[in-house]
Amino acid sequence: MSKYSALFEDEDDVFLGSPTSKLMDIMFNANNDVVRFDLENFMKKRAAMELLLEEHLGEDFLSKVDQFIVSNQDEVGTKLKSLSIELMGEIVSKSE
């Protein structure tokens, strides 16, 4: 477990769930236009990253990504939580 995991997994956490599950709650309850806008931006970034990876790692980059996930589970999990919190913040701040 990484040194940052405790930051996101405090049992007294105000989120009362994982950041990813709370993100889903917010996405289903927030302003639909805001969620669509932020998801579209997220997908554009994902598309750009995939194109960059394909350019630098070749067409089989997805298998390399899968291997990276398996080899770096803690770091990937921490980054997933961080990205979920970031997207949550963007959606909530625009929905107020």
Listing DSSP states for 33-71 in one string gives HHHHHHHHHHHHHHHHHHHHHHHHH-TTHHHHHHHHHHH
What is the pTM for the complete model shown?
A: 0.74
Share of residues in the chain with pLDDT > 90 (%): 76
Q: Is the pLDDT of residue 14 over 70?
A: no
**CB-based contact 94:26 (threshold 8 Å):** no
Give the chain's largest Cα–Cα span: 44
Q: How confident is the model at residue 46 (pLDDT cuts 50, 70, 90)?
A: very high
- Residue 45 covered by a domain: yes
The count of domains in the chain is: 1
The domain of 62 spans 20-95
Instruction: Tell me what the mean pLDDT of segment 55-73 comes to.
Output: 94
Q: How confident is the model at residue 49 (pLDDT cuts 50, 70, 90)?
A: very high
- Residue 31 covered by a domain: yes
